[in-house]
Amino acid sequence: MIGLTRPRVQAVVAGASILVGAYDQAAIGVALAALRRAWHLGAGEVALVASASAAGMVVGGLGAGLLANRVGRRRLLLLDIVLLVVASFAAALAPNVGVLVASRALGGVAVGVSYTIVFVYQRELDGRGSGVQWMAATLWAANFGMLGAYAVGALLGPSLFGARLELGLGGILALPLVVLRRRLPETFVAVPERPAPRPRWHAPRLEDVANWSAWFAYQISDQGTNVLLPIIVAELGVAQLRSASAAALAVKAVTIPASFATIWIVERLGRRRLQLAGFLGRAVCFGLLAVVVAQDDPTWLAAVLLVCGLAAGSMGPDKTTVMGAALDDDPTWRARNQGIAQTAGRLGGVAGPALFVVATSVGGPALGVGVFAASALAGALITLATRR
């Protein structure tokens, strides 16, 4: 193995778990369609499975933020990928819904650690700048993890065996990273100039609270759609359940250009403007989608609005809410801040799938999509309240 002395290669190896984690998060949405029928799961059990991973992310994100300065970034990067391998294989072999929920929660811990440490690590690798473009590129690449999950689901079909293979593939993808990450350097001790550290606990700044809240608001709709996209597509009448994974693949694929554009415009336009535009775009599109779906005869317009809403989020808050805390100038606070922000986001991720399932069971898919629109509007208002 060569080339791991280069910062760009190190950034890719660190960021690869975001792609694998994205595959893992989307895979459960594909697998749930088959598991729901095979195991005769009720709405509550579906919501529990869908939210288990996000609940684990809360634990992983907060724990990693607290431990990052003590044990270093590199050890946590290695821990998160080992946990992801174990959790993926456990989910694939789960004999019942209880074991599946536990394994999904463990996988969520791994993803939570990854989202807390990866971007901090990339920030610290970039001695010349902030690492914003590396972060944006990593988040853009995560789309291919989701696309891969939907593509595998479309190929395997809605069978129990296909669902198990779908879940286990995430562990197979993660295995090479266990070896590669052992060769990564530590970045925290190598920071040449550290500003005077802030107290370990202090009153949060306005921009800290705004970033935590914005990530929470965004993840309600983002985690909800990422985890449940095949089911949402079927519920909206865009496709039959059997072809929902293929339809979800097509829907998600068209958001990639919007996500790619972020790499080039985030530093030019600014995080705040990009975040505000993305939140407003998603709120408008999902709000109109709820109106269309309420007509009980969804047309092609429902698919267009769904795509536009996903694209708006992909171009803006999908990236900007993740970057904010990792860009903290104080390296002794950076990981803790990112851990708290990531935890807030994952709490939104817990709420998103659960709220959609419950709202849909009460008022149909129109109400479920309306919840996502309301959360995006809240994110826009939070962004407006900040100065940068």
Residues 6+ apart with CB under 8 A from 165: 92, 152, 156
Axis-axis angle for helices 206-235, 271-293 (nearest 10) = 30
Choose among 293, 282, 288: nearest CA to 236: 293
- Amino acid identity, position 121: Y
Choose among 212, 128, 254, 230: nearest CA to 383: 212
Tens of pLDDT along the chain (388 residues) come to: 444 668 788 888 999 999 999 898 888 878 887 888 888 888 788 878 877 887 888 899 889 988 988 888 999 999 999 999 999 999 999 999 999 999 999 999 999 899 889 998 988 886 655 577 788 888 888 888 888 888 888 788 778 898 899 999 999 999 999 999 988 888 886 444 444 555 555 566 777 888 889 989 998 988 777 666 666 666 555 555 445 556 666 666 667 787 777 777 877 777 788 899 999 999 999 999 888 878 766 667 877 888 888 888 888 888 888 887 777 777 778 888 888 888 888 788 778 878 888 888 888 888 888 999 999 999 999 998 776 6
Give φ, ψ of 8 to 5 degrees.
-65, -40
Give φ, ψ of 73 to 5 degrees.
-75, -40
pLDDT at position 1 is 43
Domains and CATH numbers, the chain: 7-186+205-384 (1.20.1250.20)
**Separation between Cα atoms, residue 238 and residue 12, nearest integer Å:** 36
pLDDT at position 114 is 92
- Residue holding tokens 């536990």? 102
Choose among 142, 162, 161: nearest CA to 152: 162
Calculate the alpha carbon distances from 357 to 5, 14, 311, 354, 362 in Å.
47, 34, 23, 5, 9
- Amino acid identity, position 76: L
**Separation between Cα atoms, residue 189 and residue 234, nearest integer Å:** 50
Are 54 and 109 in contact, with CB atoms under 8 Å apart? Answer: no
Are 207 and 324 in contact, with CB atoms under 8 Å apart? Answer: yes
End-to-end CA distance of the chain: 42
**Separation between Cα atoms, residue 178 and residue 16, nearest integer Å:** 11
Long-range contacts of 291-295 (CB under 8 A, 24+ apart): 291/366, 293/236, 293/237, 293/364, 293/365, 293/366, 293/369, 294/364, 294/366
Are 77 and 43 in contact, with CB atoms under 8 Å apart? Answer: no
Residues 6+ apart with CB under 8 A from 180: 1, 4, 13, 16
Choose among 255, 258, 274: nearest CA to 214: 274
